[in-house]
Amino acid sequence: MPSTMIPSTADLAEVLFVSTLQASEAPTAAQVRAVVDQGLRTWIEDCMSCVSCVAQEAGDHPDEFTRRMHWALETVRSVYGAQVG
């Protein structure tokens, strides 16, 4: 993702997905934003690594992947609004 590009809901969800933040922690909006902001700074230089981590999890743990990605998407929509980027 080029640095001038506004991240989409899917981009933000992928960043949240690969973070250590867990749904069971019931994170606040501020916690989600902090983790996503840090993740964007980390992954902006090598977004393919982020995508690769997501794909690896999808292949290795498809059931858990589905639950976690659903949580990440819903959380991003809740924190950032229905449509981002």
At 21-50, the pLDDT tens digits run 999 999 999 999 999 999 888 877 777 777
Per-residue model confidence (pLDDT) at position 16: 94
Domain ranges of the chain: 9-19+26-80
**pLDDT of amino acid 54:** 86
pLDDT at 42: 83
- Give 83 or 41, the one with higher predicted confidence: 41
What is the residue type of 2? Answer: P
Collect all residues with Cβ–Cβ distance below 8 Å to 29 and sequence separation of at least 6: 78, 79
For residue 2, the model assigns a pLDDT of 47
Instruction: Kindly calculate the radius of gyration of the chain based on its CA atoms and give it in whole angstroms.
Output: 12
pLDDT at 73 over 80: yes
CA 5, 50, 72, 70 dihedral sign is: positive
